[in-house]
Amino acid sequence: MNRRQFINRSAALLAIGSIAGQNACSTTSARRIGIQLYSVRNDLPVDFEGTLRKISEMGYSSVETYGLNEDKFFNYTMKDFRALISDMGMSISGTHAGSRILPEDTNEPEWDYWKKLAETLKTVDAGWAVQAGFPGAGTIDDLQRIADHFNRVGEVCRRGGVKFAYHNHHRELGKIDDVVILEYLIKNTNPETVFFQLDMGHVVRGGGDCLRLLREYPTRIPLWHASDYNAETVQYTDIGKGNVPYAEMFGLPKSGGLEVLTVEQETLEDIFGSLQANFDYLKQFRWTRM
Supply the mean pLDDT for the chain.
89
pLDDT digits (tens, 9 = 90+) for 18-71: 333 333 333 344 489 999 999 999 999 999 999 999 999 999 999 999 998 889
End-to-end alpha-carbon separation of the chain, Å? 42
One domain, residues 12 and 36:
no
Helix (H, G, I), strand (E, B) or coil at 208: coil
Same domain, 5 and 115: no
Q: What is the DSSP letter of 288?
A: G
Asked if 83 and 162 sit in the same domain, the reply is yes
Query: Between 63 and 8, whose confidence is greater?
Result: 63
Do 5 and 63 have their domain in common? Answer: no
- How many angstroms separate the most distant Cα atoms in the chain? 86
E strand intervals along 191-272: 194-199, 223-226, 228-230, 235-237, 260-263
DSSP, res 174: S
Q: What is residue 102's predicted lDDT score, i.e. its pLDDT?
A: 66
Domain of residue 19: give its range: 1-30
| One domain for residues 15 and 68 | no
Residues 250 and 285 in one domain: yes
Are 62 and 72 members of one domain? Answer: yes
**121 and 49 in a common domain:** yes
- Report pLDDT digits (tens) over 91-137: 999 999 987 666 776 777 888 999 999 999 999 999 999 999 887 78
> What mean pLDDT do residues 256-275 have?
96
* 80 and 16 within one domain: no
- Judgement on whether residues 195 and 105 belong to the same structural domain of the protein: yes
In this structure, the answer to whether residues 111 and 233 fall within a common structural domain is: yes
Helix H segments across 91-237? 108-123, 140-159, 181-187, 200-205, 210-216
Sign of CA pseudo-dihedral 189, 192, 198, 204: positive
Q: Is residue 221's pLDDT more than 60?
A: yes
Q: What's the CATH number where 163 sits?
A: 3.20.20.150
Burial category of 247 from C-beta neighbours within 10 Å (exposed 0-12, middle 13-18, buried 19 and up): exposed
What's the pLDDT band for 147 if we cut at 50, 70, 90? very high
For residue 74, what are the contacts with CB-CB under 8 A and spacing of at least 6?
44, 45, 48, 81
C-alpha to C-alpha distance for 173 and 175, rounded to whole angstroms: 7
pLDDT score recorded for residue 26: 35
Q: 3-class DSSP state for residue 178?
A: coil
Residues 142 and 14 both lie in one domain: no
Considering its fold, how many domains does the chain have in total?
A: 2
Min mean pLDDT across 3-17, 61-75, 128-142 is at 3-17
216-244 average pLDDT score: 97
Instruction: Give the global pTM.
Output: 0.88
Q: Which residues pair with 97 in a beta bridge?
A: 131
Rounded average pLDDT over 190-208: 98
Lowest mean pLDDT segment, chosen from 63-72, 78-87, 152-161? 63-72
